[in-house]
């Protein structure tokens, strides 16, 4: 009897293990299709869903995404796993990218007009079509999508489609070919927040307006496979919970999408709803919590998900990209010939998507390019690569301002007019007025690029009166002219050289001319943890005078997720015998406590260090407490120290989408506490030359 029982037990165990291995082997060949909804920041929960499915070995055989679902889904489809996508979003720093070309740290990108009016070639006003243009976000998406080898999304490691809405017709647009980064950006163009996106001749907005949870699209593209719907739309809230513009926007989006979401839910084979109702549409600060909630909601339904999966039919064919027939560029004729000539080697070779994407990234860095994309035109079993460029507006009027409670000498209203393509394609003319206690005006002209060099000229007038601490009141009128050539280099390097003429009326009525050189360098690495470094300098040798010049630098290094260290400084070679050419220590960006009351010297040197904390950040701007210290030296003609200045203090910087605000308290070498504030960014600093 015992032997029979033993045999039965062995047989049962054998059958169990056989079934286990058969099931496991079969499950490895099974998969599902994901329908990822839009939801703004709530869509970060999609990352947790993907990570949970990967952990349980559930194969994803297709993805259809809307809005943020298109971003996460597109990255996943291109080959990134869940952990890599999480790392990408941590590195992206979305709040910085929302500033559209202004990183918030770099001095060269700090000034921003309060009002800007743009006009096209037909003198029609071109207004902003969204709070966020999304240019920088698009550029980052391009970098992360540059590794893909095909323009057909159905041939990605995981077949993919993005859903958008045609702004002209209101119809759904399902994108399955082309530029993956552009498709993702078009799908998330939430009206009012992000500007519409031009894609393949259509002006597209957020796909959530027609299919926020694209289950039916997924069923049509991937027939026969079960569709797992990931719904992060969120529920409508009570009026008591609507307390901000973003809350209003979130509720409006919820109202617009509620109907199409309910219709699509009827076709889903299973639904995962992460708990995201308490997360705001633009609150990207809760990435850890959102990912965890997405994973948790998925694990809770994992048994149901595994029961749905079907066997995957492996019909994968070797990837073969078509042969390039031609290269085209539209929208910027001044570089069209050189652009296509440099890429003639593409013709006759298989399409290299990495080359195509890297070229697009180069175009986006061009001074004249506001936005750029490409389209692939299939013709005679070959493909034409056509880059489509949207140029910066032909005419622009800008107004900005600056004010501080420390000195009336540092209160400005700034007016600027700029016209591109004035005489030929690619040139630029600019007229600037700085109005305040002092006055400055400048007219400048830059010719078309040509072969890396372009003509540069400027004519300026300055009517200045200041009161240095060590000298008494000084004033001058100054006329300045510069003619030269500017080198248009790559990688943020520029160089120019020419002849400068200066006439100063300060009681001596002097004028001089001589050679001048200028340079600038910016190092903004893709790796955000590396920070940035930039420097610029100017040297002028007027006839019969000493060498004049100024070199300044600024650098920043992140210290973890919330803190960053910054250092800036400079050296100035002047001539105190002429106030307009003197070195002034204590101007803006050097020593806050000397605003309006600098120290005049032959030469000067200074350095400023600070620690900043990203206390609060959002789509609206930042709240950044700062601890700073600075030291500067006024020097004689032999570079001997004649006066030392220092200050330490604390402050709060509040850059935002309306106007920048700073408040501070500092203690300096005069044993004084100074409490102050400033609004805006000053347009000038005290300096020996003004080209």
Q: Which residues are catalytic?
A: 67, 206
The SS3 call for residue 418 is strand
Residue 278: name the closest of 65, 41, 72 by CA.
41
The SS3 call for residue 317 is coil
* Helices and strands, counts by H and E, the chain: 14, 35
Q: Please give the structure tokens belonging to residue 20.
A: 């286990």
Burial state string for 342-366 with b = 16 or more CB within 10 A and e = fewer than 16: ebeebeeeebebebbbebbeebbeb
Mention every residue, 6+ apart, whose C-beta is less than 8 A from residue 465.
437, 438, 473, 474, 475
> Whose structure tokens read 């009336």?
408
Q: Is 663 left (phi over 0), alpha (psi -120 to 50) or beta?
A: beta
Helix (H) or strand (E) holding 441: strand 439-446
Mention every residue, 6+ apart, whose C-beta is less than 8 A from residue 85.
47, 50, 72, 75, 76
For 29, phi then psi, to 5°, come to -100, 20
Mention every residue, 6+ apart, whose C-beta is less than 8 A from residue 169.
none
Residue 575: name the closest of 684, 483, 687, 652 by CA.
687
3-state secondary structure 201-233: CEEEEECHHHHCCCHHHHHHHCCCCCEEEECCC
Distance CA(155)–CA(383), nearest Å, equals 16
Distance CA(35)–CA(65), nearest Å, equals 6
Mention every residue, 6+ apart, whose C-beta is less than 8 A from residue 160.
62, 63, 64, 65, 73, 74, 77, 78, 153, 154, 176, 180
**Are the C-beta atoms of 606 and 590 separated by less than 8 Å?**
yes
For 171, phi then psi, to 5°, come to -85, 155
The 10 Å Cβ neighbour count of residue 223 is 8
Q: What is the DSSP string of 471-489?
A: T--EEEEEEEEEEEEEEE-
Distance CA(330)–CA(368), nearest Å, equals 13
Q: What is the DSSP string of 506-520?
A: SSS-EEEEEEEEEEE
Mention every residue, 6+ apart, whose C-beta is less than 8 A from residue 413.
399, 400, 401, 434, 435, 436
Burial state string for 126-147 with b = 16 or more CB within 10 A and e = fewer than 16: eeebbbbbbbbbbbbbbebbbe
CA distances from 475 to 439, 466, 478, 548 (A): 12, 6, 10, 19
Distance CA(46)–CA(37), nearest Å, equals 9
Q: Please give the structure tokens belonging to residue 375.
A: 């389209």
**Are the C-beta atoms of 48 and 274 separated by less than 8 Å?**
yes
Residue 190: name the closest of 226, 158, 165 by CA.
165
């Amino acid at each position: 009897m015992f032997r029979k029982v033993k045999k039965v037990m062995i047989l049962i165990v054998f059958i169990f293990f056989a079934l286990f291995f058969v099931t496991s082997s079969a499950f490895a060949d099974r998969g599902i299709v994901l329908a990822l909804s839009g939801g703004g920041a709530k869509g970060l929960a999609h990352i947790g869903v993907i990570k949970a499915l990967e952990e349980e070995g559930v194969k994803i055989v297709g993805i259809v995404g809307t809005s943020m679902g298109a971003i996460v889904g597109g990255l996943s489809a291109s080959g990134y796993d869940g952990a890599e996508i999480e790392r990408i979003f941590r590195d992206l720093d979305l709040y910085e990218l929302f500033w559209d070309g202004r990183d918030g740290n770099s001095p060269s990108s700090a000034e921003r007009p309060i009002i800007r009016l743009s006009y096209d070639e037909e003198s029609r006003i071109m207004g902003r079509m969204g709070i966020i243009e999304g240019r920088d976000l698009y550029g980052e998406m391009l970098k992360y999508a540059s590794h893909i080898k095909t323009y057909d999304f159905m041939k990605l490691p995981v077949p993919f489609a993005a859903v958008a809405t045609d702004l002209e017709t209101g119809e759904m647009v399902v994108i399955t070919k082309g530029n993956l980064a552009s498709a993702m950006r078009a799908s998330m163009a939430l009206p009012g927040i992000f500007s519409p996106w031009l894609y393949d001749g259509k002006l597209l907005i957020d796909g959530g307006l027609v299919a926020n949870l694209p289950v039916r699209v997924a069923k049509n593209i991937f027939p026969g496979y079960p569709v797992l719907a990931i719904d992060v739309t969120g529920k409508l809230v009570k009026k008591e919970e609507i307390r901000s513009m973003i809350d209003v926007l979130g509720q409006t989006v919820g109202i617009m999408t509620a109907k199409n979401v309910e219709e699509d839910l009827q076709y889903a084979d299973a639904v995962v709803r992460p708990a995201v109702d308490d997360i705001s549409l633009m609150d990207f600060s809760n990435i850890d919590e959102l990912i965890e909630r997405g994973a948790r909601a998925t694990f809770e339904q994992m048994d149901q998900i595994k029961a749905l999966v079907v066997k995957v039919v492996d019909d994968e064919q070797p990837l073969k990209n078509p042969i390039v027939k031609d290269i085209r560029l539209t929208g910027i004729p001044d570089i069209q010939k050189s652009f296509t000539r440099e890429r003639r080697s593409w013709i006759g070779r298989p399409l290299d998507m990495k080359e195509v994407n890297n070229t697009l990234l180069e175009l986006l860095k061009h001074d004249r390019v506001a936005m750029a994309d490409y389209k692939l035109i299939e013709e005679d079993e070959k493909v034409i690569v056509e880059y489509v460029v949207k140029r910066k507006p032909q005419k622009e009027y800008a107004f900005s301002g600056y004010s501080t409670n420390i000195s009336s000498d540092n209160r400005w209203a700034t007016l600027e007019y700029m016209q591109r393509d004035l005489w030929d394609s690619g040139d630029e003319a600019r007229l600037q007025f700085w109005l305040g206690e002092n006055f400055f005006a400048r007219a400048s002209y830059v010719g078309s690029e040509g072969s890396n060099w372009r003509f540069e000229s400027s004519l300026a007038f300055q009517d200045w009166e200041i009161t240095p601490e060590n000298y008494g009141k000084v004033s001058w009128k100054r006329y300045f002219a510069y003619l030269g050539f500017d080198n248009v280099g790559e990688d943020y390097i520029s160089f120019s050289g020419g002849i400068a003429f200066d006439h100063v009326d300060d009681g001596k009525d002097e004028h001089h001319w001589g050679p001048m050189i200028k340079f600038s360098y910016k190092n903004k690495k893709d790796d955000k943890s590396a920070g940035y470094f930039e420097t610029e300098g100017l040297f002028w040798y007027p006839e019969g005078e000493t060498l004049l010049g100024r070199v300044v630098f600024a650098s920043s290094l992140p210290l973890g997720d919330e803190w960053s260290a910054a250092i800036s400084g400079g050296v100035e070679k002047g001539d105190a015998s002429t106030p307009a050419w003197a070195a002034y220590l204590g101007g803006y960006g050097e020593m806050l406590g000397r605003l309006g009351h600098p120290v005049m010297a032959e030469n000067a040197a200074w350095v400023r260090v600070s620690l900043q904390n990203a206390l609060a950040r959002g789509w609206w701007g930042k709240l950044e407490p700062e601890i700073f210290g600075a030291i500067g030296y006024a020097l004689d003609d032999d570079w001997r120290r004649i006066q030392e200045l220092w200050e330490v203090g604390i402050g709060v910087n509040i850059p935002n989408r309306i106007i920048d605000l700073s408040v501070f308290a500092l203690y300096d070498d005069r044993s004084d506490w100074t409490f102050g504030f400033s609004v805006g960014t000053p347009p000038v600093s005290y300096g020996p030359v003004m080209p």
